[in-house]
Amino acid sequence: MTDSYNSTPAAKGAWKVLFRMCYQPNKALFHKLIVMALATAVIDTSFTLVTKAVVDDLVELGAQTNLLGYGLLYLVLLLSFVACVWAFIRLAGRLSTELMYSLRKQSFEHLQRLSFSFYDQNAVGWLLARITSDSSRIANVIAWGTLDLFWGVPLIIGIFAVLLVLNFKLGLIVLGILPLLIAVAWVFNVKILKSSREVRQTNSRLTAVYNESISGVQTSKVLVREEENLREFKGDTKTMYHQSMYNLLLSSAFYPFINVFVSLGMGVALWLGGLEVLVGTLTLGTLVAFMTYTRTLMDPMLEVSAKLAELQRTTACVERVIGLLEVKPEIEDSDELKAEISRLKAMGIDMVNHEQDIETIEFVDVCFAYKANEPVLKNFSLNVAPGASIALVGATGSGKSTVVSLLCRFYEPQSGQILINGKDYRQYPLEWLQSKLGIVLQTPFLFTGTIMSNIRYGNLDASDAQVIAAAKAVNVHDIIEQMEHGYQTQVQEGGNNLSTGQKQLISFARAIIGDPQILVMDEATSSVDTQTEEILQRSLQAVLKGRTSFVIAHRLSTIRSADTIVVVDHGEILEQGNHQQLLAQQGAYFNLYQKQFQTEQQEELLTQS
């Protein structure tokens, strides 16, 4: 897994985009949190003023000092402080949760809209890191960062203002440490940001490697790759360790530097202030206030500095998440079509359901390439009549799957056209086209849940009776009923508790429950046993009746009844016709069929012997 296996660019001005995205829906929460932070800062500043007044009164009045009054005032401030702290912790926690939910929801929704080409260029681990750890970190930093900044910065300003009022000269001395603190913070933050980007990048690579290792654990064990995988993983982990330790070193060194300058200012103030107390130009209470404020100043400075450092570390996460959200789908409706859909929707017309049914399909000089200068289809032309069954055969890499991927508009032709009912299919809503499709892939994928919910996935509005009818149509009903919990049987991750044949039959039921007008089967029977294939063949005759279908098959015996068999080689059509016509031509299809027939006979003889 390399760093280049990630096409999502880091967004520029990401913080500005993120702020607009997060602030608008959560204005009230932000405002309440800011008010609580400001109130806490004011109360924090007031404690020391009360202490100063008590000390000065004790020096001047002695035993006649109104300690009860000061005690009650201190109690009121303390209770107010506790209430504000309780409120801002609750508000910050709620804001963090809201932001995390919103970011993950938007990221997931956006991923659902992105084209297949995006997933061709991005590793799963990178995407998982963005939607999980990156989103979580961003939400926490924004919520608690808002709190700390609106508490810390006003508190620092308030303390400096009070110091200048109490004693202008001493206040300026303490204020003199501020430029030094800013310079130190700037140097450290630049270094921390660079280090954090490297850490997040390595973390994403680790997530991707870990995901691949778990997904391919069976292959790793069969090929005895455990030691090699562990060695590679240790290498990435070691890199992550060194980068994290360097990042931690920078962060941990940051605080002592701040502490040194604050303590320096405090020492100077104590020395000069002590001299003024001795000569009687400064009260003891004022000196105590100066010492307390100078010491108190360190807390908000450290907190604000820490949050600024955290913001720098989180910038890498923000750039990555916003970069993901700003990726535009390559396949989407045109602006004109979107405007028309909106116009009709305002009139109460759903264009997706309003459009006519699919009748004719025509490929006209279609050219396509996944990579530049590596054409997959070259001037591919094909007419498909209503309800026709089209079988695509050819060697691996000949372009068969690309044909159906273009038909389903997972990709679009780079030149040429695909016409539906005589009109370029890009002039129809994408949702309309894909709602007319039913797809069965070579490797069936089932979701965690019940068998009932997996079949219903093809039509979420389907009733239980319709689910059962779809299962019966593909002859999987009896198989499901023989399971202990029937349709309520829980499917484990990836359908690992079901056989390949069972998963394939269930995926067939899922494909037809939506009553698709076009059924696409991409090597759908190549991974199942002979018995399951026979069940599927019996089912297909009924299921395909009246539907346009595209079948990609490795076993030619499964497509003999197709209306048109298209032989594809290097992205071009070599032959097309029905089974008998192509055999009569004695061309490429004839040769393929002869070789496969002989192989099947040899296998049958070996089985009998």
In angstroms, the CA 265 to CA 159 distance is: 14
139-177 pLDDT, tens digit each = 998 998 888 888 888 888 888 888 888 888 877 877 777
453 — pLDDT class (breaks 50, 70, 90): very high
- Cβ neighbour number for residue 395 with a 10 Å cutoff: 13
387-446 pLDDT, tens digit each = 899 999 988 888 898 999 999 998 999 999 999 999 999 988 888 888 888 888 777 888
Residue 336: closest CA among 436, 404, 424: 424
Q: What is the pLDDT of residue 1?
A: 44
In angstroms, the CA 253 to CA 490 distance is: 53
Least confident of 31-40, 203-212, 353-362, 483-492: 203-212
540-598 pLDDT, tens digit each = 776 777 789 898 877 777 788 889 999 999 899 999 999 899 989 988 888 888 887 76
Q: What is the pLDDT of residue 602?
A: 54
206-264 pLDDT, tens digit each = 777 777 777 666 666 666 667 777 777 777 788 888 888 888 888 777 777 777 777 77
Residue 125: in which H helix or E strand, if any? helix 124-129
Q: What is the pLDDT of residue 466?
A: 93
305-339 pLDDT, tens digit each = 778 777 877 887 888 888 888 888 888 888 888 88
pTM above 0.75, yes or no: no
In angstroms, the CA 165 to CA 158 distance is: 11
Q: What is the pLDDT of residue 47?
A: 84
**Domains assigned to the chain:** 14-325 (1.20.1560.10), 349-436+553-591 (3.40.50.300)
111-134 pLDDT, tens digit each = 888 887 788 777 777 788 788 888
Q: What is the pLDDT of residue 3?
A: 46
Q: How far apart are the first and last CA of the chain?
A: 47
521-547 pLDDT, tens digit each = 887 666 666 666 676 777 677 677 778
4 — pLDDT class (breaks 50, 70, 90): very low
Q: What is the pLDDT of residue 5?
A: 47
Q: What is the pLDDT of residue 576?
A: 92
**Burial class for 36, CB neighbours closer than 10 Å (0-12, 13-18, 19+):** buried
Q: Residue 107 region, left (φ>0) first, then alpha (ψ -120 to 50), else beta?
A: alpha
Tokens coding 420:
């539906």
Task: Reply yes or no on whether the pLDDT at 465 is more than 90.
Answer: yes
